[in-house]
Structure formats: structure tokens, C-alpha cells
């Protein structure tokens, strides 16, 4: 068994045909993590006991063929911002270094019910704040394609793990590109679903009105299968949608002939790395060859996407992070504190990293009396315009195509000194979150040896179309089959 190239779908077939047991597969994955991960550091916590126990139970299900789902027995890892009962959940922050949740996120419950096997928790930028995984309070994760480069962020550990075959899929989380941007950097397929498609209950919130949990894996089929398992209404998340979940894997294989693909002209301007631009253009030609109609469309408010995204994120994050106060869970710095408020101050000063503090302060500022109208409220108004841009574009086309990042993976340490430049690496992926639309990242080539990703954006709750187009592309290309040069 060649673990490094194994896909979820092929593992499914091996499990069902009893070529391998889930315990064997899980043990092999754990061994591979032990061997490979020290170079990459995708995992913050490896849950060997949980994994082997879940694998044993999956094997029982597989043996009786009862209650077997497409994910039964499949090992995966999850970004460390999803609450896992009894398993340390850190958000890669010092403030949660020893935090063990009492309950599971809904997505974790759903995966456990489906029989999937949790290998561990993935490193990330602290609380999702970052685009390189360098803002982890523990260690930076390295890009499996070049260990001197970043895997992207904030779901960097999840992307690197999926790319390096340290799990057959990853559960990431995308607040403003955090699944798609690292998927592009690491050559994996990843979905940011429609806001409300997947329950956020138990997800440690960054920006509550943007956060979208989504899978990352080797190919579209795998991502579609996982999305099917984790999507759906959750009574505990009032923002989750009541719309029924389609059987995504069933719609794969349909022809894309005659479908319309839009190229947002505002996305193809100066600043894009030449290799990235040419890879995207080749992908567009490929879609044309598949029979799709290509149209140029306009998203006129694109230039406001990044500021709108950051303003709203800062505001929501500043409130979401208020509960980390050292009284009920996590780090609590009590020595020398004069009173309870002093415990708050000391805990937060010691527990949060610089980027987190920066964003909390910016958020509190933009919500303050006298500034609210100029910043937060205005951003919400422009957010409506961004959403309308997309709605108007989708009157003309079925999907939009754009790069996931203007460049390929940059060097570790290259952008850490300048937060603003780091923010700019998210320029293509941030606007989708304020708009709430789904977007699928698909590998589409290489630039100077590093992977290039494209994203396909679609209408609200129309993940099916994106899967259909992405799958059609992967039937005629093999970029997604390229593997990083690991031992």
C-alpha cells in the first residue's frame, strides 16, 4: 500500500473489499505521521488511542456491513479550532495550551457517527489569524513541497497533512481563504462551503459571520464525500441552513459542456506572479476544451473586499475572544493579580500572541463610539455591495474562476515583519466570505516548482456545480496527483 498517494476513494474500496482493515490503515497512518511529521509539523496533537479505538469500531461496522458510510474507517485530521471532547483543543494559542473541551463540535460528532477515524489535531495560525501558519504559538508548519516555505494559512497544518498523506482528508476552516489559500500552496483540493451549510457549533469562532468549516483532500470526489457527511442543519447553530444536503458524489461525472465560466476581470490585474497567471490561463483553456463557455465578468467592488473583510473580522473577533479570561478554562495567570480584572489582563497579555492582540485592539477600536459608523457600519454596507456583485455575476455565469493567491508559497519568515503584506496574500480569497458563497480550490499547475491553486466560486448553496466542474477538470488533468518530494 502506497500511503502517500492514497485517496479517500481508493481507501474506501480497499476497506470494503477487506484488502485492509481500518486498524491496519490507521496504524500505518500513525506510523507515517511519526516518521514524516517531524519535518512538517502539521499536527499539534496526535490522538493515537482515540484513532485506534475508532478504527476498531469501524472494523466492526465494516465486518457486518451495517451502518457503513463512505467515511467508515477512514483516518483524518482536523484543524485545532474544532472542539474535541476529551482531546486538547488549542487553536495553536498559549491561552488554550491545556484546554480540554467537555463537548464535541457538531462536525466532530458527525464524523464520529459516520465512522471516520480521528488521527489528531492540526497546527494553524493562532485563532486562525494569519496566512502562513507562522502565527502558531507552538511552531510553524512547513510546506511539504519545500520545507523552507510556508504551507499557507490559517489551515496550514490541515493542508500540509493532506498533501503529505498524513491522513486521507483534513477538516479545515475558512474565514477568509483559510482553506483555499493553503490548499493552493500545498496542491490539495479544498472547499469553503456556503456560509450556513456546515454547522459551526463547537468551532472556536474567529469571525462568526464568515467562518466556514470545509474539507481538504487529494481530489474533488474525496472533498464531496466529506462535505456530504458534515453538512446540514444543526439546531445548535441558528445560522445553519434548513436546505437539504444534496448527494454531492452522485452528481460527479456530469458533463460541463455548455456551462458558463466567468473570469472576474478585477482579479486579473498587476501583482500576480507570472507562473500563477499562466497556470490559471491554461486552466481556463482546459475548461474551454471541456466545452465550457468563457465570459469576462465584472465584480466592481472587488477592491473593497479586503478592507471590508478585515474590518468585520476585527470587530467580530474582538468580541469572540473576550471569553478567554482565565476564569473558566485555559490559561489563568493569577499570581500577583490584584483582582479578577487584573487576572483577565495578565492572562490575556501572557496568553495571546501579537497578531491576536493587534486584531482585538483594532476590532475594539472600530466598534467604539464615534468610529462605529465610519468603520463597522460602512463595512457592512459595502459587504452588501460585494454580495450583489456576485449575485449579478451569477446571473450570467454558473461559476467564477480566480487564483487562490497572487503568488506560490513564500519563504518562512519572508512576510512576518509586515502584517499588511501578509494580509495582501489573501486578496483573492477574502471577498467570498463576506458574500457567503461557496468556493472550491483545485490544484492547477506549478510555478517554479511550487503548486498553483485556482478557486471556483459559485452561487449560494450550489456546491454541486463546483464539484461537477472541479471533478471534470481532474478527469482530464493530473496536477492533483502530483505528490510532494517526501521520503
Contacts to other proteins by CB under 8 A: 82-83, 89, 91, 96, 99, 101-103, 105, 200-205, 207-209, 235-239, 315-316, 318-319, 321-325, 327-329, 339-341, 344, 364, 367-369, 372, 376
Q: Could you say which of 79, 94, 121, 415 is catalytic?
A: 79
Dmax over CA atoms of the chain, in Å, equals 70
Q: In the 8-state DSSP scheme, what is residue 19? A: S
Nearer to other proteins, 276 or 367 (CB): 367
**Pairing state between β 399-403 and 260-264:** parallel
Contact 463, 191 (CB under 8 A): yes
Neighbouring C-beta atoms of residue 38, cutoff 10 Å: 9
8, 10, 16, 17: CA torsion to nearest 10? -160
- Residue closer to other proteins, measured from CB, 7 or 430: 430
User: Catalytic: 154?
Assistant: yes
Where in 356-473 does DSSP place strands (E)? 399-403, 439-447, 450-457
Within its chain, how far is the Cα of 16 from the centroid? 29
CB of 141 to other proteins, least distance (A): 22
Strand order in the sheet with 117-122: 43-46, 117-122, 75-79, 169-174, 212-217, 189-192, 439-447, 450-457, 399-403, 260-264, 293-297
Strand partners, 217: 189
The answer to whether the Cα torsion of 152, 158, 164, 169 is positive or negative is negative
What count of other Cβ atoms lies within 10 Å of the Cβ of residue 258? 9
Q: What is the closest distance, in whole angstroms, from the C-beta atom of residue 361 to other proteins in the complex?
A: 12
Return phi, psi of residue 233, to 5°: -60, 140
Select 240 or 425, whichever has its Cβ closest to other proteins.
Answer: 240
Cell triple for 265: 476581470
Q: Which of 21, 22, 114, 154 is catalytic?
A: 154
**Least distance from other proteins to the Cβ atom of residue 432, Å:** 17
Distance in Å, CB of 235 to other proteins, minimum? 7
Q: What's the closest the beta carbon of residue 318 comes to other proteins, in angstroms? A: 8
CB 140 to other proteins: min, Å = 23
Half-sphere exposure of residue 279: CA atoms within 13 angstroms, side-chain side: 30
Of 323 and 411, nearer to other proteins (C-beta) is 323
CB contact at 8 A, 92 and 132: no
Q: Is position 238 annotated as part of the catalytic site?
A: no
As given in the structure block, the three cell numbers for residue 400 are 467564477
Kindly state the smallest distance separating residue 353's Cβ from other proteins, in Å.
Answer: 16
> Cα dihedral sign for 159, 160, 161, 164?
positive
Q: How far is the CB of 345 from other proteins (least distance, A)?
A: 9
State yes or no: cis peptide before 396, omega within 30 of 0.
no
Question: Judged by CB, which is closer to other proteins: 262, or 330?
Answer: 330
For residue 334, the SS3 value is: coil
Cβ burial, residue 262 (10 Å; 0-12/13-18/19+) = buried
Catalytic residue among 92, 132, 178, 439: 178
Residue placing its CB nearer to other proteins in the complex, 299 or 315: 315
178 carries an active-site annotation: yes
Spatial neighbors of 158 by CB under 8 A, at least 6 apart, are: 42, 77, 78, 79, 122, 124, 170, 171, 172, 179, 182, 216
| Cα angle: 194, vertex 116, 199; to 5 degrees | 25
Rank residues 302 and 432 by Cβ distance to other proteins and give the closer one: 432
As measured in angstroms, the least distance from the Cβ of 38 to other proteins is 29
Nearer to other proteins, 95 or 188 (CB): 95
Q: Which is nearer to other proteins, 101 or 190 (CB)?
A: 101
Residues assigned a catalytic role: 79, 154, 178
Amino acid at each position: 500500500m502506497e500511503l502517500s498517494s492514497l485517496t479517500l476513494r481508493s481507501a474506501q474500496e480497499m476497506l470494503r473489499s477487506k484488502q485492509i482493515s481500518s486498524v491496519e490503515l490507521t496504524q500505518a497512518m500513525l506510523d507515517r505521521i511519526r516518521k514524516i511529521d517531524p519535518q512538517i509539523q502539521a499536527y499539534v496533537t496526535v490522538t493515537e488511542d482515540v484513532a485506534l479505538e475508532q478504527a476498531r469500531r469501524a472494523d466492526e461496522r465494516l465486518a457486518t456491513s451495517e451502518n457503513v458510510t463512505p467515511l467508515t474507517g477512514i483516518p483524518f485530521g482536523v484543524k485545532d479550532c474544532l472542539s474535541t471532547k476529551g482531546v486538547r483543543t488549542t487553536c495553536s494559542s498559549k491561552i488554550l495550551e491545556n484546554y480540554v473541551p467537555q463537548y464535541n463540535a457538531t462536525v466532530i460528532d458527525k464524523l464520529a457517527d459516520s465512522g471516520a477515524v480521528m488521527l489528531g489535531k492540526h497546527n494553524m495560525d493562532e485563532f486562525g489569524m494569519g496566512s502562513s501558519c507562522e502565527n502558531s504559538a507552538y511552531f510553524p508548519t512547513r510546506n511539504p513541497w519545500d520545507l523552507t516555505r510556508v504551507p499557507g494559512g490559517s489551515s496550514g497544518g490541515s493542508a500540509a497533512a493532506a498533501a503529505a498523506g498524513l491522513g486521507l482528508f483534513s477538516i479545515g476552516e475558512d474565514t477568509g481563504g483559510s482553506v483555499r489559500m493553503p490548499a493552493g500552496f500545498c496542491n490539495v483540493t479544498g472547499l469553503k462551503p456556503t456560509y450556513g451549510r456546515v454547522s459551526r457549533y463547537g468551532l472556536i469562532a474567529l469571525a462568526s459571520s464568515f467562518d466556514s468549516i470545509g474539507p481538504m483532500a487529494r481530489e474533488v470526489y474525496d472533498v464531496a464525500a466529506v462535505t456530504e457527511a458534515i453538512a446540514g442543519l444543526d439546531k445548535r447553530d441558528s445560522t445553519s441552513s434548513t436546505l437539504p444536503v444534496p448527494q454531492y458524489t452522485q452528481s460527479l461525472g456530469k458533463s460541463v459542456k455548455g456551462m458558463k465560466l466567468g473570469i472576474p476581470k478585477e482579479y486579473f490585474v498587476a501583482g500576480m506572479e507570472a507562473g500563477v497567471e499562466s497556470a490559471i490561463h491554461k486552466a481556463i483553456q482546459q475548461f474551454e476544451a471541456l466545452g465550457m463557455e468563457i465570459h469576462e465578468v465584472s465584480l466592481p467592488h472587488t477592491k473593497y473586499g479586503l478592507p471590508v473583510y478585515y474590518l468585520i473580522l476585527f470587530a467580530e473577533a474582538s468580541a469572540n475572544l473576550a471569553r478567554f479570561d482565565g476564569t473558566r478554562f485555559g490559561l489563568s495567570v493569577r499570581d500577583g493579580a490584584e483582582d479578577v480584572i487584573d487576572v483577565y489582563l495578565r492572562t490575556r497579555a501572557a496568553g495571546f500572541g501579537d497578531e491576536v492582540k493587534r486584531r482585538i485592539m483594532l476590532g475594539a477600536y472600530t466598534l467604539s463610539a464615534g468610529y462605529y459608523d465610519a468603520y463597522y457600519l460602512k463595512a457592512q454596507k459595502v459587504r452588501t455591495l460585494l454580495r450583489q456583485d456576485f449575485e449579478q455575476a451569477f446571473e450570467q455565469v454558473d461559476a467564477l474562476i480566480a487564483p487562490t493567491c497572487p503568488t506560490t508559497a513564500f519563504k518562512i519568515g519572508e512576510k512576518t515583519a509586515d502584517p499588511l503584506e501578509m494580509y495582501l496574500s489573501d486578496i483573492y480569497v477574502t471577498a467570498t466570505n463576506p458574500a457567503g458563497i461557496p468556493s472550491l480550490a483545485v490544484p492547477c499547475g506549478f510555478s517554479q516548482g511550487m503548486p498553483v491553486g485556482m478557486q471556483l466560486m459559485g452561487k449560494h448553496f450550489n456546491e454541486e456545480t463546483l464539484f461537477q466542474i472541479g471533478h471534470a477538470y481532474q478527469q482530464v488533468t493530473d496536477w492533483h496527483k502530483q505528490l510532494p518530494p517526501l521520503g
